[in-house]
A and B are shown apart, each in its own frame.
Chain A
Amino acid sequence: MNKVVQEIYDNATEFVRTFGAFQLFFMRLLQHSPALLFGRPSVVIRQVYNAGAMSLVIVMVCGLFVGAVLALQAYSNMSRFNAEDWTGVAAAFALVKELGPVMTAILFAGRAGTSLTSEIGLMKATDQLSAMEMMAVNPLRRVLVPRFLGGVISMPLLAGIFSAVGMFGAHIVGVELFQVDVGSFWQQIQLTVEIADVREGIIKSIVFGFAASLIAVWEGYNAIPTAEGVGRATTRTVVITAITILVFDFMITAALI
């Protein structure tokens, strides 16, 4: 019995300690961010390229197909009520408010998050972070902050691109394939989707950007510096990011309704 209590206590303190360290880590990233962002933008831009531009292909391809399948579903269901004109609206709502930010964040975790974690973990394992310390360069400032900012900046942009390409996919299916009138397809969207809906999507993508980048960078920095440790940290990045994003998505949606 005593042993069980002790174990629960140990786990609880460990959790509190990790959570505290995580928050402290986040604060330190934020603290160094403005100086780097405005002082040495080139370092950040390089990471926006790595995290954002390099994720473009996967985000656009997935966006296209998600938009297309949404239109397929919407059309086949709406046509039962002779409401085919609403195909675009259904796809637009789903994309802008939910699937754009959520799918992008999960794809981002898989494409950019994993590469951030493994890159930082391997830098640690090969003494590159220690070498920086020895060159009197703070690795937090020089390695972690630019990668974190790269993710934070690219995520909302990627989510926007995902939704835009998704709408194009919906257009192809709705208008070109099922011959929904192109005027009413787009006009319904214009009349129904409001700024508040777009804003919800933007808020989500910003929050998810912070969460996904923070988790990826944290996992890499705290990875056990061995092949196995880095592998495990990379897996954790995807799993934790996916769960966090879905939980946050629920909370944000509930708060904004």
Chain B
Amino acid sequence: MGDYSDNLIEIRNLRYLRGPRAIFNNLDLTIKRGQVTAIMGPSGTGKTTLLRLITRQLNPQQGTILIDGVDISTLSQKELYRLRQRFGMLFQNGALLTDLSVFENVAFPLREHTKLSDRLIRHIVLTKLHAVGLRGAAYMMPSELSGGMARRVALARAMVMDPDILIYDEPFVGLDPISMGVIVRLVRRMNDALGITSIIVSHDVEEVATVSDCSYLLSDGKVAASGSPDELRTANSELVRQFMHGMADGPVPFHYKAPSYEEQLLGRDVE
């Protein structure tokens, strides 16, 4: 079943509304197998929402999302859960289960989905923790970890079932330069060594440029630009320039929509 073309995920004509506001409108986007694809965009453009749509934690009002050629909206709960076992997801804050130790957090998917012996689970978990450099923290609790460490543990957990697709939601936010460098290298290494497909949602232009093969820049519910990091950097579009070079004002205004300053100071807007 499914077609094994280069395109792992295809999003066609996607429309998603939150309340009256359209987050996505006729969005088309393709994620290629084996690559690191970055999804960038200013805050509030719905990057995380897109991830939730791809994993069907949310359902779109219109449009299709195909994974390996299969429309995910047609899947039953059981099939959806089977599909999700192919995904590994790294949440923004790690989302480690706070009542379990680091070791048990990483072992969690194995214990839930497999009947492997304790000995084998121990081997797998220690291998994964070793890969992220935290074998020594196996018996600590999540509350004892720093932000960067928590994210690395979450990465080990996301990899423990050997997924085909790794999704990173803002993996670089709030990390010190050392942890950031570690995560950046891990993302690339995991992708190439394990032959998986990675999707990174981020607005850290520099870091994304060093790891991604292809980037999409979202704005106003659509893809505003796409291409390799170099292509984006030299693009002509004003929005792309504003975003890539971090300019305060431009197509994305500095000021949130408001009545005129003068009117508001004179109190005329309160009728």
Decide yes or no whether A11 CB sits under 8 A from chain B: no
Taken residue by residue from 128 to 164, chain A's Cβ proximity to chain B (1 for < 8 Å, 0 otherwise) reads as 1011111111100010000000000000000000000
Decide yes or no whether B65 CB sits under 8 A from chain A: no
Decide yes or no whether B127 CB sits under 8 A from chain A: no
Q: Is the CB of B82 within 8 A of A130?
A: no
* A-B contacts at CB below 8 angstroms, number: 51
Could you tell me the distance between the alpha carbons of A130 and B57 in the complex, rounded to whole angstroms? 8
Residue picked from A126, A132, A138, most chain B C-beta under 10 Å:
A126
Decide yes or no whether A127 CB sits under 8 A from chain B: yes
Query: Within the complex, what minimum Cβ distance (angstroms) separates A241 from chain B?
Result: 23
For A136, give its contact among B82, B92, B95, B99 (CB under 8 Å): B82
Decide yes or no whether A29 CB sits under 8 A from chain B: no
Q: Is the CB of B113 within 8 A of A136?
A: yes
Could you tell me the distance between the alpha carbons of A53 and B161 in the complex, rounded to whole angstroms? 35
Chain B interface secondary structure, helix, strand, loop or mixed? loop
Interface window among B20-28, B83-91, B216-224, B233-241: B83-91
Chain A interface secondary structure, helix, strand, loop or mixed? helix
Name the interface residues of B70-105: CB closer than 8 Å to any CB of A: 81-82, 84-85, 87, 89, 91-93, 95-99
Which residues of chain A are near B98, meaning CB under 8 Å?
Answer: 122-123, 126, 128
**Residue of B with least CB distance to A129:** B95
Decide yes or no whether B55 CB sits under 8 A from chain A: yes
Could you tell me the distance between the alpha carbons of A75 and B92 in the complex, rounded to whole angstroms? 63
* A123-B97, A127-B93, A142-B112 given; 18 more Cβ-contact pairs under 8 Å: A122-B98, A126-B93, A126-B95, A127-B92, A127-B95, A128-B98, A130-B57, A131-B95, A131-B97, A133-B57, A135-B157, A135-B161, A136-B82, A136-B85, A136-B109, A136-B112, A136-B113, A137-B109
> What are 17 pairs between A and B in contact, CB < 8 Å?
A122-B98, A123-B97, A123-B98, A127-B93, A128-B95, A130-B91, A131-B96, A133-B84, A134-B84, A134-B87, A135-B109, A135-B112, A135-B157, A136-B82, A136-B84, A137-B112, A137-B113
Query: CB within 8 Å of A: which residues of B?
Result: 55, 57, 81-82, 84-85, 87, 89, 91-93, 95-99, 108-109, 112-113, 157, 161
Q: Is the CB of A135 within 8 A of B57?
A: no
Q: Given the interface contacts A126-B98, A142-B112, does A131 sit within 8 Å of B91 by beta carbon?
A: yes
